[in-house]
């Protein structure tokens, strides 16, 4: 293997050691250009979303004029009317029997769902206009009923279920801002209707099922989940941003000053959180325990040696590493705020178009003062294929951008730690932040293309994996017969292989970023160098990484679970259960909070992970270049690895 590193101590200048022998130039420039072009597409996508989207469409329905219920933009007089109510029970029944498309049924926006009266027949009339000399506030005060003021022709039209007033025959309740009909009609109201000479109204379970299926369709549920993000944004800020920030910094400080105890604290805290979450969900938690860890973690384990003596030492000397993750954290926070805003508008960026009923139906038009057979169905939101493509593009962009930010953070940390190593562990106390700034400068100037390439591979692999998993799921649902043992084995094996490939890619990427920071190579060359070093020194690297990564993974999960648990408690407030900001389900905000907490923890815990991996790879490179006698390893590091070698010889002799 060619030599990639240059001596450090004598060449140290202004607190920074000269690390690289290689020619300094930009690497993988093509992929940097692709990344920039992709971001231009993201900006265009966002512009389209902000121009055409309205997040209120995700929660509230449309009335017969095309207004979004509860929206202040369409009609300020109707902003308090946020509940959708389907007017014509006959049209509603026919739509449910034929195709179940309730978008074709005329609807109106009300303040609350109307209930039948026991003494008389209640009515819900259209918004007052034309000959109806009444303000919207008066119309609301009269419970949307001005039937008594209608002319004889309008009354006859209403008795034929053609408006402008429609009878309230069926009880209804507010379910996700739509009035869910109860199939059993009010006997008193139905009797009054028949006495007035109204046309026949069918009562059937179809009324109940139609609304239930419409409200709980996959598209409707997805829209509500997206709307929940917008309503619960304070929860995401607190539980997905601030809480994991505090916990991550606290965790790093504990590793710095109390690293040995952190091993058991991670396990105990993880178990406690699992029990808390499980008890919160009313599930049994008696199977959780931490006894199994005693067989793999002991006082003299490699994890304690390396993480206790190396990680704590590096963090103590290169103190800026504890503060540095705040930089990518702020960038990621701003990105996710903008990304969620665009997401809400993309999901609601369809066109509001008038429906074509394709049936013989007519409705009274107060503005035209006559029956109109062209607009009896109202409006609906139409989504085109390019919106679906834009959403997929936006989701892929989020994954790629997240991986890119994490990769940049990892590369900067690796460069800072490598500078510490190749300077023989010497630190300039006058410039404690200079190594981090220099590493950031090298990344921005030479390695952004390589980082863009590495961060692109992960979402591509995960995209292929998700696509194959979706195909497998659809094929399984299409096949009614039970799978044979061979089919189950093949399916399970393929999923395990895809999962292993995904894990391998992420592991190779992480080590490649280290060699990019150290050797300044392109992504594929750095991957080759790192893989070769790991294979040659697998006996020194394997167990340390397995145990160390497992403990750090527990820490990340702990912070993610803590964020999710706090989100549960915050969403239990009346603000999110009963008010205008009522969410359909706490599930999605809780999952998002937990995911954001995990990402924040990953940014901060990358300090420890990348520090250890960078030190080990630098040590292996130094050992190889100097024929088994590392020249630049600090004294405490040589002592640590000598102790490890002695421990391994003792273990082998006893085994």
CA distances from 162 to 72, 88, 165 (A): 29, 8, 8
User: Facing residues of 165 across strands?
Assistant: 125
Question: For residue 339, what pLDDT is reported?
Answer: 92
Instruction: Give 580's pLDDT tier (boundaries 50, 70, 90).
Output: low
- Residue 303 CA to residue 618 CA, distance in Å, equals 18
User: What percentage of the chain has pLDDT greater than the value 90?
Assistant: 7
17-41 exposure pattern, b = at least 16 Cβ within 10 A, e = fewer? bbbbebeeeebbeebbeebeebeee
Question: For residue 44, what pLDDT is reported?
Answer: 93
Question: For residue 275, what pLDDT is reported?
Answer: 61
507-519 exposure pattern, b = at least 16 Cβ within 10 A, e = fewer? bbbbbbbbbbbbb
Q: Which stretches of 520-634 are DSSP H helices?
A: 523-536, 538-571, 587-625
Residue 319 has pLDDT above 70, yes or no: no
pLDDT higher for 529 or 90? 529
For the stretch 185-238, pLDDT in tens is 778 888 888 888 888 877 666 666 666 667 767 777 777 777 777 788 888 888
Radius of gyration of the chain, Cα coordinates, nearest whole angstrom: 32
The SS3 assignment for 367 reads coil
For the stretch 455-469, pLDDT in tens is 999 888 888 888 877
Contact 558, 273 (CB under 8 A): yes
DSSP states along 82-95: -EEEE--HHHHHHH
Question: For residue 452, what pLDDT is reported?
Answer: 92
- Residue 568 CA to residue 239 CA, distance in Å, equals 10
Question: For residue 462, what pLDDT is reported?
Answer: 83
Strand intervals (E) in 176-217: 178-181
Please name the helix (run of DSSP H) or strand (run of DSSP E) that holds residue 223, with its range, or none: helix 218-231
Residue 394 has pLDDT above 90, yes or no: yes
For the stretch 395-422, pLDDT in tens is 999 999 999 998 998 898 888 888 777 7
Residue 654 has pLDDT above 60, yes or no: no
Question: For residue 288, what pLDDT is reported?
Answer: 36
For the stretch 46-97, pLDDT in tens is 999 998 888 888 888 888 888 888 877 656 677 788 888 888 877 776 665 4
Residue 392 has pLDDT above 70, yes or no: yes
- Site of tokens 């951008």: 401
Peptide bond into 60 cis (omega under 30): no
Instruction: Count CA atoms within 13 Å of residue 148 on its CB side.
Output: 8
For the stretch 229-275, pLDDT in tens is 778 888 888 888 888 888 888 877 776 666 555 556 666 666 666 66
Q: 489 is written with which tokens?
A: 């084995």
- Residue 640 CA to residue 118 CA, distance in Å, equals 85
pTM: 0.74
Question: For residue 451, what pLDDT is reported?
Answer: 92
Q: What is the 3-state secondary structure (H, E, C) of 576-609?
A: HCCCCCCCCCCHHHHHHHHHHHHHHHHHHHHHHH
Q: At what angle do helices 523-536 and 538-571 cross, to 10 degrees?
A: 120
For the stretch 131-163, pLDDT in tens is 788 888 888 888 888 888 888 888 888 888 887
307-324 exposure pattern, b = at least 16 Cβ within 10 A, e = fewer? bbbbbbbbbebbebbbeb
Instruction: Give 279's pLDDT tier (boundaries 50, 70, 90).
Output: low
Angle at 10 between CA 8 and CA 12, to 5 degrees: 60
What's the mean pLDDT in 113-141? 86
Residue 34 has pLDDT above 70, yes or no: yes
Residue 13 has pLDDT above 50, yes or no: no
Question: For residue 652, what pLDDT is reported?
Answer: 42
Selection from 404, 439, 437 nearest residue 418 by Cα: 439
- Residue 59 CA to residue 223 CA, distance in Å, equals 7
- Residue 428 CA to residue 419 CA, distance in Å, equals 11
Residue 472 has pLDDT above 50, yes or no: yes
- Residue 590 CA to residue 651 CA, distance in Å, equals 46
DSSP states along 416-485: HHHHHHHTTT---TT-TTHHHHHHHHHIIIIIHHHHHHHHHHHHHHHHHHHHHHHHHHHHHHH--SPPPH
User: Facing residues of 380 across strands?
Assistant: 353
Selection from 142, 165, 56, 63 nearest residue 108 by Cα: 63
CA distances from 254 to 89, 208, 251, 553 (A): 65, 57, 5, 16
Question: For residue 101, what pLDDT is reported?
Answer: 62
What's the mean pLDDT in 564-574? 83
Instruction: Give 295's pLDDT tier (boundaries 50, 70, 90).
Output: very low
Residue 19 Cα to chain centre, angstroms: 39
* Beta-strand pair 165-167/123-125: antiparallel
pLDDT higher for 516 or 543? 516
Selection from 145, 144, 161, 157 nearest residue 202 by Cα: 161
Least confident window among 25-34, 111-120, 150-159, 569-578: 569-578
Residue 4 has pLDDT above 80, yes or no: no
Instruction: Give 2's pLDDT tier (boundaries 50, 70, 90).
Output: very low
For the stretch 331-368, pLDDT in tens is 988 999 899 899 988 988 888 888 776 666 778 888 77
Instruction: Give 492's pLDDT tier (boundaries 50, 70, 90).
Output: confident
- Residue 84 CA to residue 104 CA, distance in Å, equals 14
Instruction: Give 540's pLDDT tier (boundaries 50, 70, 90).
Output: low
User: What percentage of the chain has pLDDT greater than the value 70?
Assistant: 71
The residues near 552 (Cβ < 8 Å, ≥ 6 apart) are 605, 608, 609
Contact 565, 280 (CB under 8 A): yes
pLDDT higher for 381 or 636? 381
């Amino acid at each position: 293997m060619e030599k990639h590193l240059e001596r450090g101590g004598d060449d140290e200048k202004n607190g920074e050691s000269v690390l690289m022998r290689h020619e300094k130039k930009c690497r993988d420039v093509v992929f940097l250009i692709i990344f920039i072009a992709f971001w231009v597409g993201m900006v265009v996508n966002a512009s389209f979303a902000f121009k055409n989207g309205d997040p209120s469409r995700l929660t509230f329905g449309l009335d017969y004029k095309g207004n979004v219920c509860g929206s202040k933009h369409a009609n300020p007089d109707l902003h308090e009317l946020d509940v959708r109510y389907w007017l014509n029970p006959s049209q509603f029944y026919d739509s449910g029997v034929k195709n179940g498309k309730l978008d074709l049924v005329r609807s109106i926006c009300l303040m609350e769902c109307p209930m039948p009266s026991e003494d008389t027949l209640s009515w819900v009339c259209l918004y007052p206009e034309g000959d109806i000399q009444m303000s919207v506030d008066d119309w609301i005060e009269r419970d949307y009923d001005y039937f008594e003021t209608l002319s004889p022709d309008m009354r006859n039209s209403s008795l034929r279920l053609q408006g402008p007033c429609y009878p309230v025959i069926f009880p209804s309740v507010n379910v996700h801002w739509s009035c869910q009909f109860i199939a059993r009609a009010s006997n008193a109201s139905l009797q009054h209707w028949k006495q007035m000479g109204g046309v026949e109204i069918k009562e059937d379970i179809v009324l109940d099922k139609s609304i239930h299926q419409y409200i709980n369709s996959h598209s409707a549920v997805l829209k509500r989940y997206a709307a929940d993000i917008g309503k619960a944004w304070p929860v995401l800020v607190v539980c997905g941003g601030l809480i994991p920030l505090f916990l991550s910094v606290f965790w790093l400080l504990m590793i710095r000053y109390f690293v040995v105890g952190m091993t058991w604290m991670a396990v105990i805290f993880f178990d406690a959180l699992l029990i808390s979450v499980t008890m919160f969900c009313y599930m049994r938690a008696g199977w959780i325990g931490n006894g199994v860890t005693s067989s793999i973690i002991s006082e003299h384990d490699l994890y304690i040696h390396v993480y206790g003596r190396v990680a704590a030492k590096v963090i103590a000397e290169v103190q800026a590493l504890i503060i540095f993750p705040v930089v990518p954290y702020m960038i990621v926070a701003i990105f996710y705020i903008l990304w969620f805003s665009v997401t809400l508008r993309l999901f609601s960026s369809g066109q509001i178009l008038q429906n074509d009923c394709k049936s013989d139906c007519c409705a009274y038009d107060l503005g035209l003062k006559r029956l109109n057979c062209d607009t009896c169905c109202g409006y609906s939101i139409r989504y085109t294929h390019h919106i679906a493509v834009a959403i997929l593009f936006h989701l892929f962009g989020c994954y790629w951008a997240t991986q890119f930010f994490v990769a940049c953070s990892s590369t900067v940390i690796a460069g800072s730690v490598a500078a510490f190593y190749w300077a023989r562990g010497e630190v300039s106390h006058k410039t404690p932040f200079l190594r981090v700034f220099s590493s950031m400068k090298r990344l921005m100037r030479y390695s952004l293309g390589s980082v863009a390439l590495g961060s692109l591979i992960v979402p591509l692999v995960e995209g292929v994996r998700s696509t194959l998993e979706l195909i497998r799921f659809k094929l399984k649902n299409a096949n009614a017969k039970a799978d044979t043992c061979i089919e189950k084995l093949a399916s399970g094996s393929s999923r395990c292989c895809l999962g292993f490939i995904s894990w391998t890619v992420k592991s190779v990427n992480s080590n490649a970023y280290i060699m990019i920071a150290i050797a300044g190579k392109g992504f594929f060359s750095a991957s080759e160098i790192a893989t070769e070093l790991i294979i040659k020194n697998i006996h020194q690297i394997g167990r340390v990484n397995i145990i160390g990564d497992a403990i750090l993974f527990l820490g990340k999960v702990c912070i993610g679970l803590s964020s999710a648990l706090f989100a549960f408690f915050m969403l239990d407030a009346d603000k999110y259960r009963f008010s205008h900001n009522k969410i359909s389900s706490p599930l999605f905000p809780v999952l998002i909070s937990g995911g954001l907490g995990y990402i924040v923890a990953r940014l901060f815990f990358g300090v420890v992970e990348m520090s250890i991996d960078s030190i080990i790879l630098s040590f292996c490179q130094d050992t190889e270049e100097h024929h088994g006698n590392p020249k630049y390893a600090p004294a405490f590091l040589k002592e640590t690895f000598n102790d490890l070698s002695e421990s391994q010889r003792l273990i082998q002799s006893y085994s």
